[in-house]
Homo-oligomer: A and B are copies of this chain.
Amino acid sequence: MVWEIVALVAGFISIGVAAYLYSWVMNQRNGSERMEEFSKMVQEGAAAYLRRLYQALGILAVIIAIVILLALGWETALAYLIGSVSSAAAGYAGMYIATRANARVAWAARGGLKRAFPVGFYAGGVMGLSVVGFALIGMTFLYMLFKDPNVVLGFSFGASTVALLAKAGGGIYTKTADIGADLVGKVEFELAEDDPRNPAVVADNVGDNVGDVAGMGADIFDSYVASVVAVMLLGNVLYGMQYVLFPLLLSAAGILASLIGMLVVRTGESNDPGRALNTGTVVTAAIFALLTLGVVLALDLDNPWGVFWPTVAGLLAGIVIGFTSDYFTDIDQQSVQNTAHSALTGPAILILDGFSYGLLSIVPSIVGICVAMAAAWVLAEQFGVAGTYGVSVAAVGMLSITGMIVSSDAYGPIVDNAKGCAEYGGESEETIAVCDRLDAAGNTAKAITKGFAIGAAALTVLALFAAYAETVQVSVLDLREPGVVVGLFLGAMMPPLFSALTILSVGRNAFKMVEEIRRQFREIPGLIEGKAKPDSALCVDIATQGALKELALPGFLSLVVPIVVGILLGREALGGFLAGSIVTGIIFALLMANAGGLWDNAKKFIEDGALGGKGSDAHKAAVVGDTVGDPFKDTAGPSLNTLITVMSLTATVFGPVIARLVLFRL
């Protein structure tokens, strides 16, 4: 019992510190009147979107909870609801502070970098610590109550369904607004980014919050919980209670490490705050490794080194993948510069080059994931622990420092919004320059956290895959059986299908947004001269309604197809299905994230003055590339992690029921 209480206390400490940071940020001055006006519009837009999203999610959650109740009993149904609410709460908390911190950061930027940076970072910290706090408290509490990891699995499933819809919906929202604002505002009317005359500027800034803050928070909440639950399930089947508690204590250690790491993050007036964020990550990782050693020894496990080394391997792999994954998207590298050069022949070859480098960028990450997996497996087996348990623990090792990772990741959109606020508020050039530097630091940190998230998601779904096989008791998943191969193909088809549906949604909604913006410029007299205000709320509404409507089909497919495959073709086929979806899910996630990032930076490279600079033909070509990349990197790509987690969890949760209902076996 003492260990559960340790974990619970760590969770409450996390929430306590988050509350303290929250009040600290809220006590900062709220900015000028005009900033406040902007901030208010973003707050209202974001709140309106989240209200509607959570309404839709609420109905869905109740339906799924009823299905679970009937199929698996009230305990899992309850856990499912608690998981949904916790995930939504963490996302809401992050979004709430983020939309209030923007004006505060912008105001503090008047006082320079050193004043403004902590406001942004601590606001991000509220999000990071909420995520890990809510997650750990929820899992520990449910385990204390029911002593059954299968019930905690329901918690994870709840978090995951929320994450899928929050992430995909946020992704559709943010790019609808962004592309609409860019295509009309920047290209047709040649307005600057965040120009207050652009009717879609508020929607665009709302989008950053609902996509990058609330969506991303729900996404990492989901991976974090899923990795812990997978280890709990495997520990339960293979060993005893100590091995079930172990991942909870790793999470507790990760929270403490993150708190210490956050204290280290400081920056002077002339330093690069991006480096401060990355230093924080490295310090957190080092402290976490030390604490893990303590946990392993204190828990009195049979084979302490067989869990310690895989944890460290996972952690190291996360950092290595993180620090190398931005190679292809780095503005100083060949890939970005070659792509930018091809803009001289127009957009077509620029797009081909970016796409190709995106494909190439798959290679190092896949090799990294394979090495991490093999190392964790071999290290575990070497010291007498099952290889599957080792791989799963490596995933938890990677994700344990989530508190720190999410803090620096959420920092990005907050300072990006602060910049919007400052521009809207008509601040001085110096203040905007400070905001620019804060924003650049966010991008530096994001390159690393993005690689981290994909690597961690890959190991997590592999752990879930192992947990699925244990849960439905299939002893082999033989690629020589036709059922497994058919499943493999069908599963592999899902991530492209999901991507297609979400990207088409963005295209359709952006088209509507473009028409609305054009209409406002045409019909509102004095708008273009800056004498009248645009109807921002209408643009917010278009993005909100579009995103929610478009979610229905991909959401439905990802929950229903695994169950249908399982019932029609059997649990082996469903195993193959999961494997196929994991493989193409990771490949398309990497392709889309990196190609999108690369086109973005190729455009920035030209905007920094190369190849004719802003307004040149090369720049126009690069803008096309950037627009193509937007839904790649911010809608479809990041949703795929969540998609494969949801499908794996669906299979694992309903696996025992499916196994009884199979209609046909190949």
Contact = CB atoms under 8 A, between A and B. Distances in A.
Contact of A476 (B476, B485, B492): B476
Nearest to A506: B352
A363 interface: yes
A356 B666 contact: no
A480 interface: yes
A131 interface: no
Nearest to A369: B489
Contacts of A583: 488-489, 492, 580, 583-584
A480 B576 CA distance: 10
Contacts of A346: 183, 187, 624
Contacts of A342: 507, 511
B469 A480 contact: yes
A275 to B, nearest CB: 32
Interface of A: 179, 183, 187, 342, 345-349, 351-353, 355-360, 362-363, 366-367, 369-370, 373-374, 377-378, 387-388, 391, 462, 465-466, 469, 476-480, 482, 484-486, 488-490, 492-493, 496-497, 499-501, 503-504, 506-507, 510-511, 514, 575-576, 579-580, 583-584, 586-587, 591, 623-624, 627-628, 631, 666
Contacts of A514: 345
A551 B484 CA distance: 35
Given A345-B511, A359-B496, A499-B356, A366 B478 contact: no
A373 B510 CA distance: 41
Contact of A480 (B345, B476, B492, B496): B476
B479 A576 contact: yes
A349 B359 CA distance: 21
B351 A493 contact: no
B496 A591 contact: yes
A590 to B, nearest CB: 9
7 contacts: A346-B624, A348-B627, A348-B628, A352-B503, A479-B579, A485-B579, A493-B587
A363 B584 contact: no
Given A179-B349, A356-B507, A374-B482, 10 more contacts: A348-B628, A351-B628, A356-B499, A359-B497, A360-B497, A360-B501, A362-B493, A462-B485, A476-B476, A488-B579
A575 B367 CA distance: 18
Contacts of A580: 583
A666 B374 contact: yes
Contact of A378 (B497, B586, B631, B666): B666
A104 B82 CA distance: 76
A357 B508 CA distance: 13
Contacts of A499: 356, 359
Contacts of A492: 366, 583-584, 587
A345 to B, nearest CB: 6
Contacts of A462: 485
Contacts of A482: 373-374, 377, 387, 391
Nearest to A469: B480
Nearest to A631: B352
A480 B466 contact: yes
A631 B501 CA distance: 24
A500 B335 CA distance: 12
Contacts of A465: 479
Nearest to A490: B370
Nearest to A370: B486
Q: Which interface residue of A187, A358, A462, A478 has the most chain B CB atoms within 10 A?
A: A478
Given A500-B359, A504-B356, A507-B342, A493 B374 contact: no
Contact of A500 (B357, B367, B370, B377): B357
A53 to B, nearest CB: 23
A575 B362 contact: no
A44 B462 CA distance: 55
A348 B627 CA distance: 6
A486 B356 contact: no
Contact of A486 (B373, B479, B503, B631): B373
Contacts of A357: 500, 504
A349 B507 contact: yes
B477 A480 contact: yes
B624 A503 contact: no
A39 to B, nearest CB: 30
Nearest to A366: B493
Nearest to A511: B345
Contacts of A378: 666
Contact of A362 (B387, B496, B624): B496
A386 to B, nearest CB: 11
B366 A490 contact: yes
A473 B489 CA distance: 24
Contacts of A631: 352
Contact of A479 (B477, B501, B586): B477
A358 B588 CA distance: 14
Contacts of A500: 356-360
A377 B347 contact: no
A367 B479 CA distance: 18
B493 A363 contact: yes
A604 B207 CA distance: 36
Contact of A485 (B360, B373, B485): B373
Contacts of A351: 351, 624, 628
Contacts of A510: 345, 349
Contact of A587 (B353, B504, B584): B584
Contacts of A624: 346-348, 351, 624
Contacts of A504: 352-353, 356-357
Contacts of A183: 345-346, 348
Given A480-B469, A576-B479, A489 B366 contact: yes
A497 to B, nearest CB: 6
A347 B347 contact: yes
Q: Which interface residue of A348, A359, A500, A507 has the most chain B CB atoms within 10 A?
A: A348
A489 B631 CA distance: 25
A437 B480 CA distance: 47
A610 B373 CA distance: 53
